[in-house]
Amino acid sequence: MENAYARSVFEVLDAFRVDPTKGLSDHQIAENSKIYGKNVLPQEESTPLWKLLLKQFDDLLVRILIAAAIISFVLALINGETSLMAFLEPSVIFMILLANATVGVITETNAEKALEELRAYQADIATVLRNGCFSILPATELVPGDIVEVGVGCKVPADMRMVEMLSNQLRVDQAILTGESCSVAKGLESTSATNAVYQDKTNILFSGTVVVAGRARAVVVGVGSNTAMGNIRDAMLRTEDEVTPLKKKLDEFGKFLAKVIAGICALVWVVNIGHFQDPAHGGFIRGAIHYFKVAVALAVAAIPEGLPAVVTTCLALGTKRMARLHAIVRTLPSVETLGCTTVICSDKTGTLTTNMMSVSKICVVGSVHRGPITSEYTVSGTTFAPEGLIFDAAGMQLEFAAQYPCLLHLAMCSALCNESILQYNPDKRSYEKIGESTEVALRVLVEKIGLPGFDSMPSALNMLSKHERASYCNRYWEHQFKKTSVLEFSRDRKMMSVLCSRKHQEIMFSKGAPESIISRCTHILCNDDGSSVPLTADIRNELEARFQSFTGKETLRCLALALKRMPTGQQLLSYEDEASLTFIGLVGMLDPPREEVRNAMLSCMHAGIRVIVVTGDSKSTAESLCRKIGAFDHLDDFSGYSYTASEFEALSPLQRTLALQRMVLLTRVEPFHKKMLVEALQNQNEVVAMTGDGVNDAPALKKANIGISMGSGTAVAKSASDMILADDNFASIISAIAEGRAIYNNTKQFIRYMISSNIGEVVCIFVAAMLGTPDTLVPVQLLWVNLVTDGLPATAIGFNKQDINVMMAKPRKVNEAVVSGWLFFRYLVIGAYVGLATIAGFIWWFVYSDTGPKMPYNELVNFDSCSTRDTPYPCSIFSDRHPSTVSMTVLVVVEMFNALNNLSENQSLFVIRPWSNPWLLWSILLTILLHLLILYIEPLSILFSVVPLSWIEWKVVLCLSFPVLIIDEILKFFSRRPRGRIFNIKFRRVELLPKSDGHDK
């Protein structure tokens, strides 16, 4: 029944044909069970492993590599090759792809855990009325129409409509569903609100929420998927994981690169058609196959096989650094996504606030004989920890607060007129509450006030263990007084009273809503001398003015406390006794903002990141918090910046678009509102980070570009998120964003490094094919360079130091190319030099080397016809491994020098010295050692078709490699110029990666 909240109790019971005194019959239970099914969230079928595995190969570059590997294998069979070398290249390619696929499968498997965690919030058992008898049954057996009884501590087993109140009140903690900071009072009255949200449905008990006060009976109106929890599950199932900006750019890069590769490979094959019949190939078909192999080698050279592994490694290293900042990353790509976040949709309770109600203000009457009449105290401490001080209006600390009569009696009343428990959890190393947050706040206040009569009391309390300290002062008063009678809180009286006995004196302590308590008071307790004087109209007006100030401007939740001396020997209380009270004081409490949040908000503004506060709380409470944390510092009028969810939904599409661009606060939200907000922002090309800790946040956390859950949050929220804040602190998000930006900058650097290196390899093979020289590099050598000699320095570039101004720049645009404009031109120049230097080393050995044949250049480029001409050189010289070894070594060494160029995008090596990143120096050294290993260790040298080099050859290698540093220094010099361009060439709009036509979300 979807509209049970709008119907009367009789209408709901009649709809299910149930008698509230007898419950359902066996026949009705069987019938309803067939219609509505079991009270369980259906288990979603997990994606088969083989489907997950195949999904990892759904990438254009990966498919090109697979095709290259298969073609290499087929060509080896056609040529009759059976050696290890013939199958090495395809085997290595397949192993790389399988390793990357394994990482992807593990990541996607973890993402499905959120739905399983949702089941943990379903109740196990329920007290059900059936066939006229109550019994305890598994909650899974509940059907719509069942009459269920709930009490304090019960987890609500299904969505239920209240039908009977069995106590003065019923309060439910539904924060996991709505995000409200306080428990909610439930009643029997139907709701007539249009577009009612969960907060408006005050007669509905939602599945998974917890009863914190009172007892009641309710009729089940929704089970399984037809509950609020079921709606969240469905929303999570409908939500597809967002592709990260970097992944999009790499995918676009892959498509662009695929087109370039296809074009170049076709061009190489076509321009060499005239050479297919050269005698060296043994026929036209074999010539065509030979140049097809060259085209395949070109494809292998153009694809940066090591890029996925290097990106993964760099992001993994970033997760370790973030962990030190209390940000635990669950999915690697989210590390980079943080860097381009433009909007943070932040949950209020527990993220911007401590989610621990605490007393912050106290108002008492000082003296009626001299002004001012009232005295105000400020209480420090924002958590449940009994640590805090009390300050007077002048800001002076009260050394012994319990010596002041009103504060002393406030402590007595707070300790005795209280049903909550404050305890220390050694496992979590924190203080925890059991019961109402407002009552626990009073418990903590008692501990802060301390005990009277002991000069050493403050220091003595600090010597206690944390377990003893949690409620030491509260236990003291509970031992001093004996509770004999209690009048529970009721909605009509709005107060609670307890009768206590001490040394043959009976005292009634009362607490409740200020308007209710003050109206019943006839006297006041004076804080200066402890006297009790009549409550005059002037004093009453003064107290009401203070109350309005607390609840209005400061939006504090207020309670008034009072006492009354009762006749000796009285054992029971009646409602008539709650009159002629003596007013003790007024306390104002709130869920306080975290101390670090204000500075974090300023950092966001400087970094160009908008923060939208999203909460289930009321508009006035949330606006007050936004004022405190600085979200409204630049505003005098909140209209157009603060909306309730209903107000936002009522806007026209154009008004909604404009509102999204200015919005700072969205209140009274349901789970689907949060997801709707994320989607709307993403449609405006915003990169959205969403924070949350409740079950209600899970769909939005999953939908956001990066979902951030709290360490103390629900397991559902954690499983649906990409990152977990171990300290629940909003400020930690800002630190993580700075780290994410630095990681992206380093990622760009090593991507550019690998691109320029691959351009060099393509240029080498392409130019060799155009000139008609023998094969410069064999495929296995290209694989070695791409995976090892490129991979190690590229990974080390990820350790480049963070820019000190990283959080002063605006977020990068989502459609910003990884390499664009002038930078692309720079890397084309560097890549061209790498390729030309590599082929220069190859030609040098044939034409100029003392250990080479010193043949004329013309002979070299006509090597195919060697067998048909008389030459002074044996044709076998073109199969010598020396020239390809020189080429490969030049390629390796020139890329090591190029790695040093990537310490900074534009800064000279004279400014950013090589030793600023020792990891890069060590990676270069290790790469050179590995290269020496394959040159001088015979089994490896045979495997890679290389031979040892002489000292003369090494000198030539260094001479050909070193100039890459000089070339890039010149290019960096022009990049640093105010116009940043040489010869006024405008590359600003030219992009290596194509932009998407539609939204990037």
Catalytic residue numbers?
347
* Residue 799: burial class (beta carbons within 10 Å; 0-12, 13-18, 19+): middle
d(CA 265, CA 247): 26
End-to-end CA distance of the chain: 36
**Which DSSP letter does residue 155 get?**
B
Report how far apart, in Å, the C-alpha atoms of 573 and of each of 495, 500, 515, 564, 578 are: 14, 10, 21, 12, 9
User: Which of 343, 428, 357 has the alpha carbon at shortest distance from 708?
Assistant: 343
**Which DSSP letter does residue 274 get?**
G
User: Which of 562, 553, 637, 631 has the alpha carbon at shortest distance from 590?
Assistant: 553
The helices-and-strands tally (H runs, E runs) of the chain is 36, 29
* Residue 421: burial class (beta carbons within 10 Å; 0-12, 13-18, 19+): middle
d(CA 306, CA 788): 8
Q: What is the DSSP string of 404-460?
A: SHHHHHHHHHHHHS---EEEEETTTTEEEEES-HHHHHHHHHHHHH--SS-TTHHHH
Whole-number CA gyration radius for the chain: 37
Phi/psi at 349 (5° precision): -70, 120
Per the CB < 8 A criterion, the answer to whether 976 and 235 are in contact is no
SS3 content of the chain, % helix, strand, coil (to 5): 50, 15, 35
User: Nearest-5° angle of CA 146, CA 149, CA 198?
Assistant: 80
Residue 113 amino acid letter: K
Return the bridge partners of 249, or none.
none
Per the CB < 8 A criterion, the answer to whether 611 and 601 are in contact is yes
The secondary structure element, H or E, covering residue 561 is strand 557-566
Report how far apart, in Å, the C-alpha atoms of 628 and of each of 234, 592, 595, 632, 727 are: 37, 9, 10, 8, 21
H-type alpha helices, 913-976 = 918-936, 938-943, 951-961, 963-976
**Which DSSP letter does residue 167 get?**
S
- Other Cβ atoms closer than 10 A to 617: 24
User: Which of 619, 675, 684 has the alpha carbon at shortest distance from 653?
Assistant: 684
Per the CB < 8 A criterion, the answer to whether 39 and 121 are in contact is no
The residue count of the chain comes to 1001
Q: Which residue has the tokens 């390899």?
A: 761
